[in-house]
Every structure is written in C-alpha cells, then in structure tokens.
Amino acid sequence: MKKNRFRILLTVLFLGLSLYFLYPTYKDHQFNQEISKLTNAQDSAAFFDKYSNDVLKARENRIKLGLDLQGGMYVIMEVDIAKLLSDLSKKQDDILKQALEATSEQVKTSDEDFVDLFETKLKEKGLSLKAYYGEIRDDDSKIKKDLKTEVENAIDRAIQVVRNRIDQYGVSEPVIQKKGSSRLVVELPGVSNVQEVRKLLQGTALLEFKLVIDPQIAIKVMEKINTYLAGGNLDSLVKADSLEKITKLDSLKKDTSKTTKTEIKKDSTSITSKKDTTKKDITKKDTSKKNVTKKDTLKQDSNLTGLTDSNGNPIDTNQQMSEEEFKKKNPWFYLIHPQQYKDGSVVWFVKETDKAKVLKILEKKEVQDIVPTDISFSFSNRSQFMDAGEKIYQFYILKKDPELTGGVVVNARSNIDPTSNSPVVYMEMNSDGSADWARITGANINKQIAIVLDNVVYSAPVVRNKITGGNSQIEGMANIQEAKLLEIVLKAGALPAPLSIIEERTVGPSLGEDSIQKGLYSSVIALILVALFMIVYYHFAGGVADLALIFNMLFVMGIMASFHATLTLPGIAALILTIGMAVDSNVLIYERIREELAGGKPLRTAIEIGYKKAFSAILDTHLTSLITAVILYQFGTGPIQGFALTLIIGLIANLFTAIIITRIIFDIMTDKGRTQINFG
C-alpha cells in the first residue's frame, strides 16, 4: 500500500505538471479563436490593448509548431570561403583565381578543410600561402592558422549581420544557429515573402558613420511630430519654430511615475586617435576618461527637457498630469521619452514594445512631410537597461547622408587597454578614408558620430580630437563582450562575409494547416480504433490500458511543451506510431497474466508474476527502440529530429504509464478484496 501511495503521488504530480504546461497551448488556441471572431480593426486593437500580455505569454509557452506545420522558411547558408580568401589576399591574380576555383570544385567531394586544400593547390603551382597572405616574417603554418581563424570569424560576423536584420524585419521566434565551422541555419516561422527575406539574408552588410543631429534641432523635429500626432496646429508650430521660441528652455520633468525607476545611462563611448606609446597622447585620453565619468554620474534628477506640448506651451510636469492625460496631449513623447543632460545633449528612449508603433508612425507620409529630408532615425542594437521589466532602446536622430561608409575600414581589433584596464576597440582605415576621417572628426569635436550597421546604431562615440592617420581608438564600452561586438560590426563593413544559400525550404501556411488537419484526423481515428480493440479483446483490463494510453498522450504533449520542443509533421506520425506501440507493454503483461490465471494461480499472484515476467521483455523492447530513435535524432535535420524526439519522449512516457499507472489500478482493486478482474 505504501508503495502504491508513492506511485499515486507521482502520477498525480506528472498529471498536474502536464496540464500546467499544456494550459498555455489551450489558452493560445482560445485567444486565436477569439481573435478570428473580431472583424474590425477597432475591436482587435481594443482586444490587444486589454489582453496583449496574456496573448503573448500564451504564445510563448504553447507547444511550438515546426515550420512544416505553421509555414515559414528554413535556410542553410554557407560562408563563401573562396570569396573571403580572395578578398583577404594582398593581390588578386589569375593563379590565385585558378587555385581558388580548383579548391572550390574539389571541396564539394572532399571532407578536407578548404584552407588545407587551397594550400596544396597553390603548392602544385609552385607557390606558397606566403605569396598572398601575411607578413614577410610569418611562416606558412602561422599564416594558415590565421586564415582559418578568419574563416571562423567570418561566420560570427555573418551571424551578427543576419540576426541584426532579422530582428529589424520583425519575425517572431526566429532561430539562428551556427552549424559546423562555416554554416548558418536560419529558421523563420510564418515568413511568406521569400524574395524579401532572401535579399535580407544575402545582401552585403552596410556599415556607415553618421553624424548624430544636434539636440536642439532634434527637439524641434520631435515636437513637430508630437504636435501632428496630437492633432495640434502645425502652422503655429512652424511659426513658433521660426521665432525660435522653443529654444527657451524650462526645467521640467515629465511623467514622474515612468522615470523615477529609470536609471539613465547615456552612451558614454568616445573616440580618439589611437594611442601610440611613442607619442605623448596620454593626457588627451585622461581628459576623455574624466568626461565619461562625469556623464555617468548624471542622474535623472538633473534632467532638463525643453519641450513644448502640442499646444505650444511648455510641458510642465509639476502640474502632475495623469498618464492618460499625458498620453493624449503628447502621444509622441509618450512613446519616446526624452532625457536631457546638463551639457545640453538629449537622449531619447523607447520601450521595446513601442518600437513597432514608433516605426509605423515614422513611415506615415504625413509625418515624413514634416520631418526634414536630411534626417534619418535609428534604434540602438540592444536595450540599454530595463525599466519595470521592459527593455528600453535608445532612439537616434541622425543625419541621413553618412559621413563615411564602412568600406574604408581596413581592420578592427578589440582589446583591453593595458594602462587603464578597460575595454577598447582599435579601428584602422585606408588612406582615402583616413583623409576624410581627419576632416570629419576635426569638424565635429565633442559631437557624436554613430556607427550604424544596416540601420542599427551599435555605438555613438563622442569625438574627442581630430584623428589623423586613420588609426582610431574607441573606448568607454562597459565590458569586453561589448568591445568584441563592436569589432565584429566594424569588420562586417570592412570584410563582408559573403554567404550563399545551400538549402532553402519554404512551406506556405495553407499546406501547414492542411497537414495539421490530416495529422489530427489520423491521430484521433488511430486512438479510437486502438482503444476499442483493447476493450473488445481485454474487456475491463483493456479499459485500464486505454486510460494509460490517454495518460501517455497527455504526458508526451506536456513534456514537449515544458521543453519547448517542436512538433513537426513527422512528429505527429511518431505520435500516431506511439499510440500503436504504447499498448504493446500492456499486451505483454496481460498475456502473461492470462497464462498465469490459466495455470490456476490466484488473481493477486497472477498479476504480480505477470508484471514481473513481462518487465525484462518490455525493457529490452524500449531500449532497442530508444537506440534507433537516438541515432535518428543525431542523423536527421529539422522535421526528422522532431519525429525522433517525439518517439523518444513517447517511449519513456510509456514505460511509466503502461507499467506503473495500470498497476496502481489493479493493486487497489485486489487490495479491496477483488478476486476477479476481467482480463478478457
């Protein structure tokens, strides 16, 4: 009895857990039905306003559907190593071209490393790697090692570029994975515009250096948008602009509830010429350091914003407007929170959930009409900090035309500055770029220049001095990871990692729906038929096995939901197969019990012996099936892995449901004095 109590406890626990993990899937289904009922845009907007958190949460925790079921794109891309090596080479001649072509051809049918093969090809032509790569002092093995590292780095850059773009494109739950040393797997659920995505994935990364617009001008632009959105009088604002009324600053603080919790950290990076130990440039660096710390200490209580509301009156937060009121009067500043610092600079912040809204507003023609044509907007690459559990992004107002593009960057390297022990990134430019860079930095001292990759701002260092010679040093990053990321970004512009698509699978949404329906249909029929058979053949005991079967299905789905495993179409096939195989354990046990009963054993003993004797066979069958399922998981890709995984979970769950749950029922019955149980 004690043993039974533990088993019952375990069963109830598993059942509870399964239901708990399956609840979001049920909730998600319910929401989807409600949403499909909503007909007009107003209703759905109201619905999302009310339930958006619940909907998102349910969606996040439901059973994930594979691309074959919900539609989407699956792409494997490979770094074009030949192109990369050609780009890296000191000179491009015919011999190099021939050697690269020959290597590309051979690598298709060989498992050897590209760089190794390339070296032998060059040797066949009587040349060594040294002819094209490395310094004169370097030996071949070092050059080869460096080239291999370059290939490895290229894939990291490619991942960064691709992730950056996909994030901007706004795909929910994308998967971006490195596979092997030169491949990249991208899964984009729900994407149907194949051409657009392909362009997104394969285009060369665009690195730009853009000037951050002067805060005073930025404020005016933002106010115009605010006035327009609030339905205010644009004419009066334009007039106000021309009279430069706006420049009159009042100290104010908006929406206290929002900002008090927020600890604002401005982008504190700065850019200087690269320190050469032979030159005594240290003093300059010291001043820049001091500057950084001064800014860091600025807290939000020193915020000064010179903003006017939609009626042209200065926003006065002392008035303590309610959130609703503020939202109504200042729809734009409700989305984009400004922070001003004592030195006059203004930083704009946007909550992650508001990013899409902001972009939508900026796309509006009417808004574009009132925004100066030489201005562009960008977000920061990552959230600067969290506020009340929400990620906050910085919003940049930039000069549209870039000062320089990334092509001039020759190299970038992140490091820890030995003198200050802080992370630093060195950037090197070619001679053309260096001349421009000197002019640009000279003209913009103490202003910010944003480093923009594919329209996302990765850093906006303040220029400390005129940088001649093309060697710059960027400092002020919080940690070495941040510096490393900046290095990747700078290199992405300098040395693009050319990607080619080697596998692409797209499933349209209607095929997925079709498949789900057919899969569900087959599963239900299979379940009913098998369950009926068990009752017909084993009578009462068959019903017990059916109960175990239902528990099995519940557990499999529950485990899949809890692991965030993906259900694929072959996965449904595995589920159906599990239905067929799950009753096997019970059949084995029941056949044994029947034998024992026929041999004249009393019920209790027969059950005991039946379970005991069947166990070794059950264990063997499950283990051999598990062996093949695990190997299949290793071998397969995407959907097939889904099949193997579902099968593995099904087999493990079955060991529990078929042996333990059925036993509980029989034990309770015999404990209560039953001497007859119908085994058919």
Partner 1 sequence: MQFFHNLHIDFLSKRKIFYVVSSVLIIIGLSVFFTKGITLGIDFAGGTELLVRFHDNIHIDDVRSAMDQTGIVGAEIKTMGSEKDILIRTAEPGEGTTVSDKIKDALSKNISGNSFEVLRIDKVGPKIGKELRVSAIYATLFSLIAILIYLAFRFEFLYALGAVLGLFHDVLITLGMIAIFHVIFPNLNLELNQGMVAAFLTLIGFSVNDTVIVFDRIRENIKLYKNEDIVSVMNKSINTTLSRTVITSGTVFLTIFILLLFGGEVNRTFAFTFTVGVVTGTYSSIYVASAFVVDMKMFQQKRKLKVPGKVAAYKA
Stretch near partner 1 under the rule CB under 8 A, chosen from 117-125, 310-318, 378-386, 523-531? 523-531
Contact by Cβ (8 Å): 221, 397: yes
C-alpha neighbours within 13 Å on the C-beta side of residue 227: 27
Residues 559-588 that bind partner 1 (CB under 8 A): 569-570, 572-573, 576-577, 579-581, 583-584, 587-588
Near partner 1 by CB under 8 A: residue from 25, 55, 66, 68: 68
Judged on CB neighbours under 10 Å (0-12, 13-18, 19+), 153 is middle
- Report, in Å, the least distance between residue 581 CB and partner 1: 6
Both structure tokens of 486: 């900046």
Near partner 1 by CB under 8 A: residue from 50, 602, 637, 668: 637
CA–CA separation, 88 vs 617, rounded Å? Answer: 62
Residues 646-665 that bind partner 1 (CB under 8 A): 647
- Report, in Å, the least distance between residue 601 CB and partner 1: 16
DSSP class of 567 = E
- Report, in Å, the least distance between residue 35 CB and partner 1: 23
Stretch near partner 1 under the rule CB under 8 A, chosen from 147-155, 432-440, 474-482, 612-620? 612-620
CB closer to partner 1 out of 182 and 465: 182
Near partner 1 by CB under 8 A: residue from 390, 631, 668, 674: 631
Near partner 1 by CB under 8 A: residue from 282, 503, 563, 564: 503
Closest CA to 462 of 605, 287, 601: 287
- Report, in Å, the least distance between residue 572 CB and partner 1: 8
Residues 482-501 that bind partner 1 (CB under 8 A): 500-501
Stretch near partner 1 under the rule CB under 8 A, chosen from 258-266, 293-301, 379-387, 636-644? 636-644
CB closer to partner 1 out of 20 and 533: 533
Contact by Cβ (8 Å): 100, 85: yes
Residues 165-224 that bind partner 1 (CB under 8 A): 194-195, 198, 202
Both structure tokens of 358: 């902001």
Residues 80-119 that bind partner 1 (CB under 8 A): 108-109
- Report, in Å, the least distance between residue 511 CB and partner 1: 4
Near partner 1 by CB under 8 A: residue from 234, 526, 655, 665: 526
- Report, in Å, the least distance between residue 325 CB and partner 1: 49
Separation in Å, CA 579 to CA 362, 394, 545, 554, 650 = 54, 53, 11, 12, 9
CB closer to partner 1 out of 452 and 573: 573
Q: Which residues of 612-647 are buried (b: 16+ CB within 10 A; e: fewer)?
A: eebeeebeeebeebeeebeebbeeeebbebbbbbbb
Torsion of CA 635, 149, 428, 161, to 10 degrees: 0
CB closer to partner 1 out of 161 and 629: 629
E-assigned strand segments in 125-200 = 175-179, 183-189
Residues 345-374 that bind partner 1 (CB under 8 A): none
Residues 585-604 that bind partner 1 (CB under 8 A): 587-588, 591, 594-595
Contact by Cβ (8 Å): 309, 229: no
- Report, in Å, the least distance between residue 175 CB and partner 1: 18
- Report, in Å, the least distance between residue 108 CB and partner 1: 6
Could you give the angle at the alpha carbon of 334 between the alpha carbons of 329 and 336, nearest 5°? 135
Near partner 1 by CB under 8 A: residue from 66, 461, 639, 650: 639
CA–CA separation, 641 vs 648, rounded Å? Answer: 10
Residues paired with residue 189 on neighbouring β-strands, in sequence order: 72
- Report, in Å, the least distance between residue 400 CB and partner 1: 31
Q: Is the dihedral of CA 391, 392, 397, 399 positive or negative?
A: negative
Stretch near partner 1 under the rule CB under 8 A, chosen from 303-311, 439-447, 515-523, 664-672? 515-523
- Report, in Å, the least distance between residue 70 CB and partner 1: 13
> Mind giving me the DSSP string for 600-657?
T--HHHHHHHHHHHHHHHHHHHHHHHHHHHHHHHHH--HHHHHHHHHHHHHHHHHHHI
Cα-only R_g, the chain? 33
Both structure tokens of 132: 């094209």
Residues paired with residue 314 on neighbouring β-strands, in sequence order: 308
Contact string 22-61 vs partner 1 (x = CB under 8 A): ----------------------------------------
